[in-house]
Amino acid sequence: MKIQRIVPALLFLGVILGQSFFQTPNAEAVSDNVVIYQVSGAVAGDAAHELILLYNKSLQDINVTNWCIKYSSLSDGSGFKKCIAPPNSITEIWITSGGFVSFASSEFVSTNSGFVPDIAFTAGMNATAGHVRLLDNNAIEIDKIGWGSAKYPEGVAIPAHPAGFVLSRYITSLTIDTDNNLVDFSFKPMHNPIISGLYEQEVIIDLCSNIEGLQTLLPEGFLQDNLGDCYFDVCPNLDDLQKELAEFYYIDDNGNCQLVVLESRELFITELLPNAGGSDTGLEFIEIYNPHAEAIDLTGYRLKVGPNYTKEYVFVSGEIGAGQYASFSDTFTGIVLPNTTGAQIRIVAPAGNVVSESGLYNNAKDNISWAFIEDVWVYTNQVTKGSANKPYLEPAVNEVEGVTSVLAPCPAGKYRNTQTNRCRTIETAVSQLTPCDENEYRNPETNRCRKVASSTSTLKPCEAGEERNPATNRCRKVSVLGISTQADLSEVQDVAVENTSGQINWAVIGIALGSTIAYMLYEWRNEIRQRIFIFKNS
């Protein structure tokens, strides 16, 4: 028996001495809690030897809930995984300081009567080559051993153990884990007796740490959010936690959340008063008109201020009757309309569509509203809050020392006298005209009396060089032998003359003869000079 133990020990010592020439162990990477203690694979196909032991080398108990061992082949391919699983969600599994955890095949249990492993697995480990890893509950590798021709050991793999021995750590060593399998493991007999160091501990979990007191169960009507905090679910009929009533939802009589039918009908912005006289607070307003034949619920409609539309007011209640106007002051909506820079107001329906938008105003004057009149946005001095808009009251404007007077329009049947700016009755103005004489008539264009043309009137004879225009009975200059007198017709005046019908006008005849002789002398002047010259020299 002693010889059987001495031979493997010498063999193992020779392997260590031989491999130590080629690799220096890393003595700094030392595990500080649970490690793989012993591993036994199937010897010559005998599954009765498959066993894995874990050991808590720390000085305190360790929570190993959901820790696992994973076996894989020499190429790190096929294998199995078994975990330390708790019986329920409120139980944790711990290992005592200096305690063991055993994983054994069912064949090992059958061979060793009375042995109860902590976790059983189906046989499949190879004694000649393989890997065993220890993983924590986050699948982080805590420890590893590779033996034989294992591809991925810690440091250098330890040779496969001979029959009757297992791969075992030196648990009494101060450097129990150097992260080099060849240094940390040797061939030793199986640990006996194997006493489990596992124990269960019920965990009292406060499910709602954000609520005062211990909550081992979720309070009725509460759900947890992604952070594990508990909140009352205001919409139990909807999926997921609803901490507050979602937008466009309402709670029905059964306590369920129902979607509000999103309104999309038009409402018109019709009037804005940006600059009230004196203090604007409480006097500025936005007017809205409902063009429909039924009342419109305002809930969910939004007033947004442009041009950036970052400020808004959302109606939470109220309605506008059919064909009615409604105005909302700055103190109600919180929207202060700028005076000089100007703005636009937009209405957005609950469904998200823009249903109305005012024109852009600027430099708003006192008590002048910006109104939608006859499909056009214009200024008006007739502020009609809550009623139909009226156009600007056109004044008669007199600029006197920088003061503008605004005159009301004249009533029906009157007109404004342009000279006095006073209203005057049309009928009275006509009746005050003086009647024309018997030989006169009233010019319909000028309302002035005009003489009636008569064949018996006595006309003063035209002067020499004039003739009477038959169309106007006025004297006008005449052309003599084709020479125009270039008379200015604007200077011709009517002159009353006596009737000379049937008499010979000798003055006219004399003037005509004299003019003819003068013209002949002018035309023959050259011939007359020649004859006088010839006569003097003859």
* CATH code for position 320: 2.60.40
pLDDT at residue 384 is higher than 90:
no
Q: How far apart are the first and last CA of the chain?
A: 198
Q: Is the pLDDT confidence value at 383 over 60? A: yes
Higher pLDDT, 89 or 155: 155
* 408 vs 251: which has the higher pLDDT: 251
Domain containing 29 equals 2-201
Dihedral over alpha carbons 18, 23, 28, 31 (to 10 degrees) = -60
pLDDT tens for each residue of 39-87 = 998 876 677 789 999 999 999 999 999 999 999 999 998 899 999 999 9
CA-closest candidate to residue 332, choices 307, 306, 303: 303
Q: Lowest mean pLDDT: which of 6-15, 227-236, 419-428?
A: 6-15
CA torsion 416→417→418→419, rounded to 10°?
-150
pLDDT band at 3 (very low <50, low <70, confident <90, very high): very low
Does some domain include residue 17? yes
Better-predicted residue by pLDDT, 413 or 377:
377
Query: pLDDT tens-digit profile of 175-197?
Result: 788 899 999 999 999 999 999 99
How many CB atoms sit inside 10 A of residue 429's CB?
13
Share of the chain above pLDDT 90, in %: 37
| pLDDT tens by residue, 91-150 | 999 999 999 999 999 889 888 888 999 999 998 898 899 999 999 999 999 999 999 999
Confidence of residue 421 (pLDDT cuts 50, 70, 90): low
- Considering the domain boundaries, does residue 467 fall inside one? no
What is the rounded CA–CA span in Å between residue 184 and residue 414?
122
Query: Do 12 and 136 belong together in one domain?
Result: yes
Return the minimum-mean-pLDDT range out of 35-49, 229-243, 521-535: 521-535
Cα distances from 314 to residues 263, 264, 365, 385, 432, in angstroms, run 14, 15, 28, 21, 66
Domain holding 147: CATH number?
Answer: 2.60.40.1260
d(CA 264, CA 275): 31
Cα–Cα distance measured from residue 91 to residue 170, given in angstroms and rounded to the nearest whole number: 33
310 within domain boundaries: yes
- pLDDT tens-digit readout, 483-503: 444 444 444 455 454 555 555
Closest CA to 257 of 278, 242, 272: 242
Domain end call among 347, 380, 413: 380
Whether 472 is covered by a domain: the verdict is no
Do the domain assignments include residue 361?
yes
Q: What's the confidence (pLDDT) of residue 269?
A: 92
**By three-state DSSP, how is residue 402 classified?**
coil
Contact 169, 184 (CB under 8 A): yes
The letter for the amino acid at 31 is S
Q: Which of 424, 421, 428, 398 is nearest to 411 (CA)?
A: 424
Would residue 132 count as lying in a domain? yes
Model confidence at 344: pLDDT above 50: yes
Q: What is the mean pLDDT of the chain?
A: 80
Query: Based on the structure, what is the number of domains in the chain?
Result: 2
Whether residue 89 is found in the same domain as residue 185: yes
